[in-house]
Amino acid sequence: MKAWNGWYHVNGNTYGTWLRGDPRGWRARKHREHVEGDYRNPPAPGRHAGLYDRSKSLLKAKPVRLDRTQRRVAAIAIVEKLRELGVEILAVSVDAVHYHVLGRFPGADVRSFIGRAKKNASHLLREHRLPGTVWAKRCRVLPISDRSHQVNVYRYIARHADRGACAWTFRDGLKLGPSTGDTKAHG
């Protein structure tokens, strides 16, 4: 599917927070394995417990959960780097374990732009006592299909602030949601 006017919804996670075999549901890269369920309708309890335990044992560091200050730093860093790279941004949110971006990218290689933004955020987060790997590899890139889809995604990302995420929109700037502890991980 081609993106409407170059707009994409991109999301991803922090390191170690969504693994193969996760009880909330998971997807194999490029759907190489069929996995029943997702975060809304998780697989049967214990169905992939062995795989999940193996995935956790392979982690080289603890899973990363961003506190409120770190969410703010990451959101600002992502917005600034993407704007510097010529990406037109409508909304960004960063919560304890994942991020969302709605933007118009000047080329088809959306992942490289996001990678540079994540790298910028990682460097700034080192100053806030978060050394090492911050982000999971890759990201999910979803093309926006039309204006209605774009508006729905914009609202969806902006609403993350209501659940404790740090959200930035082209209209309101930066908004740090209420302290609700760690937000639930979801897509």
Task: Give the model's pLDDT for residue 183.
Answer: 44
Q: What is the CATH number of the domain that holds 148?
A: 3.30.70.1290
Distance CA 132, CA 61 (A): 8
Percent of the chain exceeding pLDDT 90 equals 59
Length of the chain: 187
Which of 7-16, 31-40, 144-153 has the weakest average pLDDT? 31-40
CA atoms in the 13 A half-sphere facing the CB of 160: 32
Distance CA 119, CA 60 (A): 19
In a domain, 181, yes or no: no
80 and 51 together in one domain? no
Total structural domains in the chain? 2
pLDDT of 161 > 50? The answer is yes
Task: Give the model's pLDDT for residue 112.
Answer: 97
pTM of the prediction? 0.83
50 and 82 together in one domain? no
Distance CA 184, CA 18 (A): 12
Which of 1-5, 24-28, 87-91, 102-106 has the weakest average pLDDT? 24-28
Task: Give the model's pLDDT for residue 172.
Answer: 87
Confidence band for 186, pLDDT divided at 50, 70 and 90: very low
Quote the DSSP letter at residue 135.
Answer: B
33 and 101 together in one domain? no
Structural element, H or E, at residue 154: helix 147-158
28 and 113 together in one domain? no
174 vs 22 pLDDT, higher one: 174
Please give the residue range of the domain that contains residue 44.
20-58
141 and 113 together in one domain? yes
Average of per-residue pLDDT across 125-146: 89
Mean pLDDT for the chain overall: 85
Task: Give the model's pLDDT for residue 128.
Answer: 75
Structure token digits, residue 168: 């930035």
84 and 118 together in one domain? yes
Share of the chain residues as helix, strand and coil, in percent rounded to the nearest 5: 35, 20, 45
* Chain segment 52-64, per-residue pLDDT in tens: 667 667 778 888 9
Q: What DSSP letter does each residue of 50-76 carry, written as one string?
A: HHHHHHHHT-SSPPP---HHHHHHHHH
pLDDT of 44 > 80? The answer is no
Phi, psi of 20 (to 5 degrees): -60, 135
In a domain, 75, yes or no: yes
